[in-house]
Structure 1
């Protein structure tokens, strides 16, 4: 059975209550992230924020939640994405989280946990998200963060005053962007009544975004006042259908997907979903037929070529995958996830030197992809660059929360790399984090 690749970043930070340990993962897919950025751009601009500086990232968790911890990223659980019924609902979630950034609600969060672009910061964020999603794992969150304060109190829970402020601002952003404000009402309706439940039974969203009848009335009143400013946006609906369609095709059963592949009304999205379903059923010929038909409709779409490459790679057709990824990279030469996938395919086919170059480019553009770091380390090792191999391995372990292993490889890198070089300095950063973690124990 094929698993949802989507360039997973594993947090590997387990919880200590409520049954078996569970790791949170961050789903990295260039198509879904591009679609989310298209949906977010008008909202972020209305908020006075730069769409180029804020990433929309998906956490692989069926529970419903969305949150921010710094000004670099908005995190949305896959369960919440799949629960959304239209673009306006998802955009209202983004608008609300953007308001927390724009309104300065993050200043009380600890500096060490506020950078989603660093390996250590990302690990801490996913650990805290795991603690909150589990429903009150205060101790687990604190341990994962290396602090005495709880994960929830540190940076994932907003006050009711902050929620009202974000509702006011978020609805205003939607109105400015011409997005139907009813989407915000529909989202909050999903969670109505949560405040009457015990904390352990509430959705994660309700625990991190306090709900009340007064808050619902505020959102409804604001939405009614802004409804005349909504404008139809076929582009937003398309990208919503594409993001949700691809995500659901990987997360739902192939049978479920095939029965509903055409529900969005977009023929290329239908073909893409059929291709994924056939691929997961190990029907390569059918999968490639559907992909080729989708590409015929959008021949210059890099993300369709990237998906074709993924299907070929996972079907052990690595040489053909190289060609598909090369086409995708020629159409989106700055996309880190596509460059990383292309480099991976080249590495598998023995083109180590070129693979290393592409993987270095991918890491430089987006250092949060643990799979790129793994492949980059392998390429360095094959080329005899043992110091760099140890350094990149140390950085990958730091991202995964395996700080002890990170320290071991960072020490090895320090001994092998020229003292004072850029690589040596990066190794010192990991060593410092490792030593700090030891002192907190």
Structure 2
């Protein structure tokens, strides 16, 4: 675990109805995608989004900005107070302010209740479709086959057009709301305008000229129109010429570099950050690229340069520790990972990585430290299946089978395996003293899993 680790959560059985970039209906299931988790990236996303969330009248503690491992330029909401951002969007962005513009737009969907109201547009479109099918079927039954088929096709086209018009109205509303949130937060809207220019280029990937694109068959208004509609209000904002905090911009460059190193093909990443580039960002990207390309010595060399430049940086130490751990050197990984945990104030994912390294040493003397570190990790971030898996293995190594089963139940509950969660929790209850917090937790998991399984059976 650790840097840009994949995190599998319970499947999200909803569809993304508010994608930022789309040339058709938004029908991509969130559950089909993987969530990327990284302490440094999540901290940056939280810091750049918090003032916008507050300006939107929402509680920052209740809103999550989640990174999806997908190279396409996209962002969406899919119910609840969660903004999903594709890794490809961060790679395409040039500034923190551009990402803030995207987040503001998506918050406009949340405050507007667009996911819930999306059913209204679908219902109206479905009504048109059903009516056209009835008319078409009646015509065909009367012997007018061609007329019946034409009626059906015309109805489907009308239904699609109605839904798309509804979607475009929602997108325009989210644009306007988002620009207002930025102004209220004292953040420039320049990034929102400049990102629309990037989206215009994306539109040309599917057509050589605007004349080749039917604006009435899009889920979103044309990017040029969106930019034009907002430009006046954004330029009149008192925050228009306000510069982004240089510290946030520095953090964005680091996040973008490590993301490219992790997500891009190693050859592509090394081309973007060639050896002649001796910046911090280049070392960061190349460390990931060499690690992914199975060149551990080169990866450690780049990580050592980062640590030499900033010896107390917890994320550089985390990177070095992870490379050593995943290269089969868990004992060597312990020192940098312990420093990383201390420097990050026990960041949950970094703590989980240290716990994994301690377990991987296969030294029984390290098991109690691993248990303590992992308990802190899952107490602060319960939605990390791998941390629970590692903690379960540690408990098993210590001979505490009941708590090993409880940790296993936690993991199964997170990944949506209700029956296995229930059986593991019930097994844990057999060995944990009744009335203790661990017993009550196991009981809660068992009851919730049983209820979820029954609901699924009824459906």
Place the TM-score, normalised by the shorter chain, in its bin: 0.7 to 0.9
Structure-2 residue corresponding to 1:409: 424
2:80 paired with 1:70? yes
- More displaced stretch, 44-53 vs 176-185: 44-53
2:374 paired with 1:359? yes
Structure-2 residue corresponding to 1:318: 330
Q: How far 1:221 sits from its partner (Å)?
A: 3.7
1:304-343 alignment, distance < 5 Å: 304-343=316-355
1:343-354 alignment, distance < 5 Å: 343-349=355-361, 350=363, 351-354=366-369
2:179 paired with 1:171? yes
- 2:76 and 2:5 map into 1 onto residues whose CA distance is 20
Q: How far 1:423 sits from its partner (Å)?
A: 1.8
1:194-252: CA deviation from partner (whole Å, max 9, x where unpaired)? 8xx9xxxxxxxxxxx95235755533343333386232233232222111211111111
SS at match of 2:84: strand
Structure-2 residue corresponding to 1:9: 7
Structure-2 residue corresponding to 1:231: 242
2:118 paired with 1:105? no
SS at match of 1:94: helix
- 1:37 and 1:91 map into 2 onto residues whose CA distance is 11
Structure-2 residue corresponding to 1:438: 453
1:29-178 alignment, distance < 5 Å: 29-47=38-56, 51=60, 54-63=63-72, 64-67=74-77, 69-71=79-81, 73-101=82-110, 103=111, 105=113, 163-178=171-186
| Equivalenced residues, count | 372
1:191-202 alignment, distance < 5 Å: none
Taking a change above 3 Å as real, the CA distance of residues 397 and 381 of structure 1, as seen in their structure-2 partners, is same
- 1:258 and 1:161 map into 2 onto residues whose CA distance is 42
- 1:286 and 1:382 map into 2 onto residues whose CA distance is 34
Structure-2 residue corresponding to 1:380: 395
Give the conservation status (yes or no) of the 8 Å contact 2:348–2:377: yes
Aligned counterpart in structure 1 of residue 283 of structure 2, from 260, 271, 284 = 271
Q: How far 1:266 sits from its partner (Å)?
A: 8.4
1:265-310: CA deviation from partner (whole Å, max 9, x where unpaired)? 8811111112222222333332222222222222221111101111
Q: How far 1:178 sits from its partner (Å)?
A: 4.8
1:144-199: CA deviation from partner (whole Å, max 9, x where unpaired)? xxxxxxxxxxxxxx9666544543332133234454413223444555698xx9xx
- 1:93 and 1:262 map into 2 onto residues whose CA distance is 30
- 1:260 and 1:411 map into 2 onto residues whose CA distance is 52
2:36 paired with 1:24? no
- 1:270 and 1:47 map into 2 onto residues whose CA distance is 36
Structure-2 residue corresponding to 1:184: 192
- 1:266 and 1:368 map into 2 onto residues whose CA distance is 37
SS at match of 2:85: strand
TM-score (norm 1): 0.74
Q: How far 1:356 sits from its partner (Å)?
A: 0.7
Higher relative contact order (CA closer than 8 Å, sequence separation 6+): 1
- More displaced stretch, 232-241 vs 249-258: 232-241
2:431 paired with 1:422? no
Q: How far 1:401 sits from its partner (Å)?
A: 1.6
2:269 paired with 1:257? yes
- 1:40 and 1:386 map into 2 onto residues whose CA distance is 42
- 1:415 and 1:104 map into 2 onto residues whose CA distance is 48
Across the aligned residues of Structure 1 and Structure 2, the Cα RMSD in angstroms comes to 3.4
Taking a change above 3 Å as real, the CA distance of residues 169 and 10 of structure 1, as seen in their structure-2 partners, is same
Q: How far 1:365 sits from its partner (Å)?
A: 0.4
Structure-1 residue corresponding to 2:153: none
- 1:400 and 1:382 map into 2 onto residues whose CA distance is 23
- 1:107 and 1:283 map into 2 onto residues whose CA distance is 45
- 1:39 and 1:220 map into 2 onto residues whose CA distance is 22
- 2:384 and 2:6 map into 1 onto residues whose CA distance is 8
- 2:280 and 2:238 map into 1 onto residues whose CA distance is 31
Taking a change above 3 Å as real, the CA distance of residues 4 and 282 of structure 1, as seen in their structure-2 partners, is farther
Structure-1 residue corresponding to 2:120: none
Q: How far 1:412 sits from its partner (Å)?
A: 1.3
Give the conservation status (yes or no) of the 8 Å contact 2:186–2:239: no
